[in-house]
Amino acid sequence: MKSNPKNISIMKIKNIIHYILVGATIGLTSCDDFLDLDPISEATSGNAYSTASDAEAALTGAYDSFQSEYYIWDNIIFNDVISDNYYAGGDNPEVIAVAELNFSPTNGRLFNNWTQLYNAISKANVVLQKVPAINDLKLDQNNRREQILGEAAFLRAFHYYQLVKMWGGVPLVLEPVASLDPAETQLPRSSVTEVYAQIIRDLEFALERLPEVYGPSQSVNKARATSGSANALMATVYAHKPDRDYQKVLFYAQEVEKSAAGYRLLQNFAHLFDGNHYNNDESIMEIQYTGDTEANWGPQLLLPPSISGDSWRKFVVPSVNLINAFDAEGDVIRKNASFLFESVPWADEFWGNTVGSSIPFAFKWKSANGWASTNRQYIFRLADIVLLKAEALNELDQLESARIELNRIRSRAGLGDTPASNKNEMRLAILNERRLELCQEARRWDDLRRLNMAVEVINSLNEIDLRTNVRVDFNMTENKMLLPIPQQERNRNPNLSQNPGYN
């Protein structure tokens, strides 16, 4: 009987094979070499933070949160697999439940993600509280203290954005919790409006302190929060918050483009994902996997047997609907860079219910390397922001300006100018372009919900389960726009109310 690593706990894998975003090399912004520091994740005494090195180590610990399962893999599950882009694949019942939109408060992945994001916030909170009080002149060289605080504020904003878009209002924890007092540990949910307001405050704080670049090394500039990444998150936040402000989306997208970092679209789309062109000019911020103990284990879960070296059924399988969307547009360049078709030793219920059928694999990661891949996720890249800019222009009734931005992305993909002739056609064209450009980059579900199209799009899918030849009914409802608050967390905190539609 063959071994089936699909049933191994992904959290156990994470504990064995992990990476740190900055390679434990975040240091002072000078011509000196970066400090090689172990991250500080928890303070055990009042004097745990007393030097510049302690501050840098605490910040490294905050960046280290990008090694969590959520940022390696589950962000794709809860944005691409949950949408019309990918099937669950594999045989993990909790992932299959997400793909089928069968959300339960007891799904362990929800609790894992919630816990990991709040742990990441707690690390940022420690930096924001402790660093101002450290008496070390090194922190005041080259404005380093303020930069550290700006980086931590960006990270906290980024994590809260993940929480609010998945769950709506969540508790706002803005200081390290130093007590078991229920008044500190059992906070009620803040409103969606309050959470977004805090995210914006953190980003405004960060933008006053973050540089456009840290120096000549792109492996540093792309690994760390900069004004470019803060402006990109601002544009994203203003597009997603319930009271969307497209003037602000446009402003912050333009700020990204004006950055002295010199962001530009790569001419060759495939270079973004071939593994040889990371930290490129299009990248605004990306996770720095380097292999070995600083590795991405996600590709082993997704890539076909010819690359992964194993023969068990893989996760995150591109949907028939997604492949048809590429074919309908004649989008060969991005299709070839994003998917790999291969015959497999298992039956797939959507692509061929017989062993040996040819199915597509998610292929923006291209090297598994035995659970230790150097393949990366982009936290932000310019094409995403250009398309947000196009959306903002269209919503502001600047149709021809939106067309110019959209055609920048289409041109690189070898496609002709968009035929969209009015505001609604342009809105749909931009949404489709984002789907083709950003698949497997954890954007699709956010886009559908932002434009209030999730219910319509999901319920109109014609996905046939070949085992029964019956159309799959995803039963998408307005309540499913938000995930249920994890039951484990509600058991711990009785002040947490549940989202509508869940018990």
User: DSSP labels for 8-77?
Assistant: S-HHHHHHHS---TTTT----SSSSPPP--PPP----STTSS-SHHHHHHHHHHHHGGGGSHIIIIIHHI
| Residue range 249-277: mean pLDDT, rounded | 98
- The residue extents of the domains of the chain are 5-293+377-492
Tell which residue, 479, 444, 458, has the closest CA to residue 77. 444
Q: Is the pLDDT of residue 220 over 50?
A: yes
Burial readout 374-387 (b: 16 or more C-beta within 10 A, e: otherwise): bbbbbbbbbbbbbb
* Element housing 120 (H / E): helix 108-130
CA distance 163 to 177: 19
pLDDT band at 47 (very low <50, low <70, confident <90, very high): low
How do residues 352-376 score in pLDDT, each as one tens digit? 999 999 999 999 999 999 999 999 9
The mean of the pLDDT values for the chain is 91
376: left (phi over 0), alpha (psi -120 to 50) or beta: beta
Burial (CB < 10 A; 0-12, 13-18, 19+), residue 227, is buried
The per-residue pLDDT for 211 is 98
Burial readout 41-54 (b: 16 or more C-beta within 10 A, e: otherwise): bebeeeeebeebbb
How do residues 239-256 score in pLDDT, each as one tens digit? 999 999 999 999 999 999
Asked if residues 80 and 322 have their Cβ atoms less than 8 Å apart, the reply is no
Q: Is the pLDDT of residue 16 over 90?
A: no
Tell which residue, 98, 34, 109, has the closest CA to residue 69. 109
Architecture of domain 5-293+377-492: Alpha Horseshoe (1.25)
Per-residue CA distances from 476 to 72, 78, 169, 455, 480 (Å):
27, 15, 21, 5, 7
CA distance 122 to 325: 41
The per-residue pLDDT for 48 is 78
* More reliable by pLDDT, 183 or 106: 106
Asked if residues 418 and 429 have their Cβ atoms less than 8 Å apart, the reply is yes
